[in-house]
Each structure stands twice: as structure tokens, then as C-alpha cells.
Amino acid sequence: MFVPDEMTFPFANALLGKNLVGGEALRLGFPATVAPFAMGIALGIARHALDEITEQAVQKGRNFQPSSLSTHPHFQFALGKAELELAAARALAFQVLSCIWDEACAGRMPPPEEQAEARAAAAYITELAQRVTTAAFQAAGGSVLFDTNPLQQCFRDVYAAGQHFTVSQSAYRALGQFKLKQPDANPML
């Protein structure tokens, strides 16, 4: 019988019926455990929306005298700004998640203030992803209303993601309470 060792197969102890104590991710706590998922989902949807509208812009005509959407200065401006906003949101995600991950790797649960920061960052990133996706949705024109247009699904998905409590507006208040050193500060307001 083949018995894998811990070095070649990290979950060997679990397969052999031995207790396997959870890893760093189990030390993140709540809401920091959910924040990476919220951030990743929102960023992924917005990235897909920008890629899709960029592709459609080359093919799409607008106005009564059709010209390629890609030649419209307003669209060029909006696309350039959205690309930078999305890149900045991604950088924020990496920064915040690196901090909470460092705490978990050091054997500690991130403190409540970092929990609140992770939650507020997830809320902000989700809002920004909604704005970016909405800009792409609006630029696509009437054809975006058809279920066959991928931007239709992006629009619905990013707003559905924003319905989760973790990314609700109360996240900003919670972070503000910690920054103001309020005695009743709570990352889960």
C-alpha cells in the first residue's frame, strides 16, 4: 500500500485518519474569511465587463451615422479611467489581504480593526466594480438588454454580489469607529 509522506502530499495525515489542524486560512476570522471572496468576485466580474466592452467597441456602431464606439472620445475616456480604477482596486485588495494573511501566518487572528478594514475594502471594491461594470453596460447600448450579451450577466452578477452583508454600507461605519477608537467599535456592524 502506498502511504504518502507529509512532504510530498501535504494532506497525508488527513487521509490516514490523523488529526490535521487547519492552516492559516482558519485563523482569519470573520469577516476577513469572506473578504477575499467578495473582492475576487467583484474584481473578476468588472474585469470581464471591461474586456467584453473593449471587444464590442471595435464592432459596435453608435448614433444615427454609425461609427465605431472605439472612436468616440467619451468612450475612450471612460474606458481609460475604468481600467485605472480597477487596477487601483486590485492593488488595494492585495494590500489589505496581505496584512490579514501576514497575521494569520504569524499564528494570530487579525485584530478587529484589520477585520473591519478588510470588510470595508471589500465593500469599496464591490462598489467600484459596480461602477465600472455599469459604465461598460451603458456604453454597449440597446443590444446589452439581450440575454445573449455577456454584459447583461456581468451587470446582474455584480449587483447580486453587492447584496451580501459583508459588503454593505455599514462596513464603512465600522472602520470609522475603529479609526476613531470608539469603545463599541465592531467590525460586523
pLDDT tens string 150-180: 999 999 999 999 999 999 999 999 999 999 9
Domain ranges in the chain are 28-59+67-179
Instruction: State the fold for domain 28-59+67-179.
Output: Butyryl-CoA Dehydrogenase, subunit A; domain 3 (1.20.140)
**14 Cβ partners below 8 Å, 6+ apart?**
20
**48 Cβ partners below 8 Å, 6+ apart?**
150, 154
> Cα(189)–Cα(180) distance, rounded to whole angstroms?
15
DSSP 3-state of 23:
coil
- Averaged pLDDT of the chain: 87
Confidence band of 58 (pLDDT split at 50, 70, 90): confident
Cell of 7: 512532504
What pLDDT score does 83 carry?
Answer: 98
What pLDDT score does 90 carry?
Answer: 97
**128 Cβ partners below 8 Å, 6+ apart?**
42, 46, 85, 86, 89
What pLDDT score does 23 carry?
Answer: 76
Residue 6, pLDDT > 90, answer: no
